[in-house]
Amino acid sequence: MKREPSTAARSLRAASLAITVVSLVAFSTIAYSFYADYEALSGGQRPGGPPPNQSVRTVVNNTSATTYVNITVTNNGLYPLTVGLSCLSSNGSVVVKCSNSSITVPPGSKQILHFVMNLQNLSQAPPGNFTVMGDISLSLPPFVSVNIIRPIASSSEQGG
């Protein structure tokens, strides 16, 4: 003879099903939002190509150079997107100063990230001797956060 499940067992089964459905929906929306934001930021570019929606202006003054970068960030996802850009400390004789910039873009909108990098003592750097590393952070708070460390300037880009 088959026993009827208890009320507690039926309740736990229903709660388990509800938790599973909510988790699947939550993870699906996070994955979609991450993918939509990645596509908007990369603009379908090929690796090594210039980033889309970006303007760069460099002003050279004797032994220093100041680079002004404006990046238009579009959030096509479902959650707010936080984007940040900063420099890591100087290396060698070149002094690097940056305006650690960060913005939070609400879903379905655009904002401009303003970033300024100043390089001093360029005449004291032998060619190929310095590289400025940047820390690019992307996050969908409070779910996902990614930091990417990559070169953003080198002495070969500054003309040696």
* pLDDT (average), residues 94-122: 87
Of 51-55, 98-102, 154-158, give the range with the top mean pLDDT: 98-102
pLDDT value, residue 125:
61
* Cα–Cα distance measured from residue 144 to residue 34, given in angstroms and rounded to the nearest whole number: 9
- Is 72's pLDDT higher than 80? yes
156 or 76: whose pLDDT is higher? 76
How is the beta sheet containing 131-140 ordered, strand by strand? 101-105, 81-87, 131-140, 144-154
- Is 24's pLDDT higher than 90? yes
| Dihedral of alpha carbons 26, 32, 36, 41, sign | positive
* Cα–Cα distance measured from residue 153 to residue 131, given in angstroms and rounded to the nearest whole number: 6
The class that CATH gives domain 37-45+52-154 is mainly beta
Contacts of 48 (CB under 8 A, 6+ apart): none
* pLDDT (average), residues 139-155: 78
Which range among 2-16, 22-36, 45-59, 86-100 shows the weakest confidence by mean pLDDT?
A: 45-59
- Is 124's pLDDT higher than 70? no
Backbone angles phi, psi at 131, to 5 degrees: -140, 135
* Domain assignments of the chain as residue spans, ordered by start: 37-45+52-154
Q: How many CB atoms neighbour CB 158 within 10 A?
A: 18
| Distance spanning both ends of the chain, measured CA to CA | 87
- Is 86's pLDDT higher than 80? yes
pLDDT category of residue 158 using cuts at 50, 70 and 90: very low
- Is 71's pLDDT higher than 60? yes
Q: How many CB atoms neighbour CB 68 within 10 A?
A: 14
Could you report the per-residue pLDDT of 1-10, keeping only the tens digit for each? 678 888 888 8
